[in-house]
Structure 1
Amino acid sequence: MRKPKITNTIRRLRFDANEMTQKDLADKAGVSRQTIAAIEKAKYTPSLELAFKIARVFGQPLEDVFICEYLD
């Protein structure tokens, strides 16, 4: 089975949302700023619930925030 690579557009979405800080997003999603930083850097994959919360903060569909690519 191929391993998925999950990337995201959170940094760009934060910038487009009046330069929202990681802390602001973290507060709205109910997690720590460090968690948001790790997700942005693709060092941590969020739970499905958290991924939906983050997408909802930006008013975007999940697949516009998180991109899943399969690597060989």
Structure 2
Amino acid sequence: LRGLPLLQGARGAQPANLDAIAEAIAGLAAAALSLNGALRALEVNPLWVNGDQVEALDVLIVTETEPSK
């Protein structure tokens, strides 16, 4: 991961909690799965990280009205 040095506290920033980031990503995956095939696109940009804080600042979710079977 090219951005790993930033997550490790580059330029004097607080190191990111990688477990918290993984939990956020897993939560997004669980939300996507809960849509039962209706998900067409999910975009998070940016995902803000500051130590233990992880926030999706802008999220776009595109779904179908009728889930695929």
Instruction: State whether TM-score is above 0.5.
Output: no
Higher RCO, 1 or 2 (CA under 8 Å, sep at least 6)? 1
Higher-Rg structure is 2
Higher helix share goes to which structure? 1
* TM-score between both structures, scaled by the size of structure 2: 0.30
* TM-score between both structures, scaled by the size of structure 1: 0.29
Higher strand share goes to which structure? 2
